[in-house]
Amino acid sequence: MTTTTTVSPAISSLNKDKNNLGRYFALLCFIFGGVGLILNVIILTRRSLRSNPCSIYFLASTFANLFIVFVSIPVRFLTAGFNIDPTIMSLANCRLQYYTFWLSRALSSWYITLASIDRYLCSSISIRIRQWSNKEIAYRMIAITTITVSMAYFHVLIYFTIDVTKDRYGNITSLSCNGQKGDYRTFAAFFHLTCYTIIPPLLMFIFGLLALNNIRRHGMLVFPSVQGRTIAKCINRKNRKTDRQLLLMLILQVVCIFLSTTPLSVQQLYSTFTANFAKDAFKMAQDSFFLAVVGNISFIAHCSSFYLFTLAGSIFRRELKKLLLIRRCLKKRHQKQELVTVETTITRPTKF
């Protein structure tokens, strides 16, 4: 049996490690995730990619991830690093922030799920099925998904509250933004678990396998039909290569999402099933620490897309190189213009 004198330092050590992990991990995600996502927006909106429906889904997911990186992660940094929790400042702030936090993470995963479905449609041998892979359908599906998921999470704006924890003397020991105690808290945990960490990765995995099966069966990617009976071979080859690269980028991101969110799913299931078990202070500190670890790991799925795209997609790397070359050329041109201006000023005769 662990004594109180040994438990207290252990609890303090776990809490300190949890806060340090949250502080530094949030800072890394903010820096590298922010830079990568901004580059994502620039590259995915370039001419060679912006007309592809899969790129449109990637772009929608990038915008959701931008909210996570520039809003959710700074809040996490303040909470872990400086013990400042903006969610407990007011009831409205509590509900609004949790609603947007959960919604943005769920939408990011669902947009990638749509991209997986699009790759399956795009690789089908049936012309009728391939016709569902186009820009117009992509925009409609993004709108429908955004509205549906936003409405599904609307209960957070109603039933979340600031939870007050008191000691046996009636003194307030902690405040936290959470779902109302009882059945709703269990429902909210299972709901977010299902909509964010179970169903989207499962659908990504299923449709990813189906897309790979289509490619294996036909020996090549088949693309959405376009108007006209004939297509130039060079254009067809270019489209095939683009779609193949987008599929590779998608597969790598699906694997990353699955690996980074699965530990969170397991930990949340454990927390839900053991919520009514008697736990001592040290066990509660351990659970809190492990939840913080897997919670931080889950943010990798929202911060790493640029680096995964760069690793897997040669077309993405090519567009990145073009972007860097354009910036370099513009910089040299600007320096040359400044040099010409200085030389003109020096050689100009002085008037007396």
Task: List pLDDT tens digits, range 231-243.
Answer: 344 445 555 667 7
Query: What number of CA atoms fall less than 13 Å from residue 212's CA on the CB side?
Result: 9
Which residue has tokens 């979340």? 160
Confidence band of 228 (pLDDT split at 50, 70, 90): very low
Q: pTM, whole model, 2 decimals?
A: 0.82
The domain locations on the chain are 15-226+233-329
Count CB atoms within 10 A of the CB of residue 328: 10
**Can you tell me the mean pLDDT for 299-318?**
87
State the Cα–Cα distance between residues 140 and 72, nearest whole angstrom: 27
Structure confidence at residue 234 (pLDDT): 41
Task: List pLDDT tens digits, range 170-216.
Answer: 666 677 888 888 888 889 888 988 999 889 989 998 998 888 888 77
Query: What number of CA atoms fall less than 13 Å from residue 337's CA on the CB side?
Result: 6
Count the helices and strands in the chain (H runs, E runs): 16, 2
**Can you tell me the mean pLDDT for 37-55?**
89
Which residue has tokens 């903006």? 86
- The first and second tokens of residue 258, run together, are 């699955």
Instruction: Tell me the percentage of the chain whose pLDDT exceeds 90.
Output: 32
Three-state SS at 178: strand
State the Cα–Cα distance between residues 154 and 159, nearest whole angstrom: 9
Q: Minimal CA–CA distance to 157: which of 101, 98, 200? A: 98
Q: Minimal CA–CA distance to 304: which of 246, 262, 247, 254? A: 254
Q: Minimal CA–CA distance to 300: which of 271, 268, 267, 264? A: 264
- The first and second tokens of residue 150, run together, are 């936003």
Q: Which DSSP helix (H) or strand (E) runs through 192?
A: helix 183-192
State the Cα–Cα distance between residues 268 and 209, nearest whole angstrom: 27
State the Cα–Cα distance between residues 78 and 292, nearest whole angstrom: 14
Task: List pLDDT tens digits, range 108-159.
Answer: 999 999 999 998 998 888 888 888 989 999 999 999 999 999 999 999 999 9
Structure confidence at residue 225 (pLDDT): 47
State the Cα–Cα distance between residues 109 and 57, nearest whole angstrom: 10
Report the Cα 218 to chain-centroid distance in Å.
33
Q: Which DSSP helix (H) or strand (E) runs through 164?
A: strand 160-166
Q: Which residues of 113-146 are buried (b: 16+ CB within 10 A; e: fewer)?
A: bbbbbbbbbbbbeeeebbebbbeebbeebbeebb
Task: List pLDDT tens digits, range 276-297.
Answer: 777 777 888 888 888 889 989 9
Region 15-226+233-329: CATH code: 1.20.1070.10
State the Cα–Cα distance between residues 13 and 288, nearest whole angstrom: 12
State the Cα–Cα distance between residues 296 and 287, nearest whole angstrom: 14
Strand partners, 161: 178
Q: Minimal CA–CA distance to 69: which of 44, 38, 92? A: 38
**Can you tell me the mean pLDDT for 337-341?**
54
Q: Rounded to the nearest 5°, which phi and psi values hold at 166?
A: -120, 155
Structure confidence at residue 7 (pLDDT): 56
Instruction: Kindly tell me the burial class for residue 68, based on how many C-beta atoms sit within 10 Å of its own C-beta (0-12, 13-18, 19 or more).
Output: buried
Output the average pLDDT for the chain. Answer: 81
Given a contact cutoff of 8 angstroms between Cβ atoms, the answer to whether 299 and 29 are in contact is yes
135-152 and 53-67 are packed helices; what angle lies between their axes, rounded to 10 degrees?
30
State the Cα–Cα distance between residues 87 and 177, nearest whole angstrom: 6
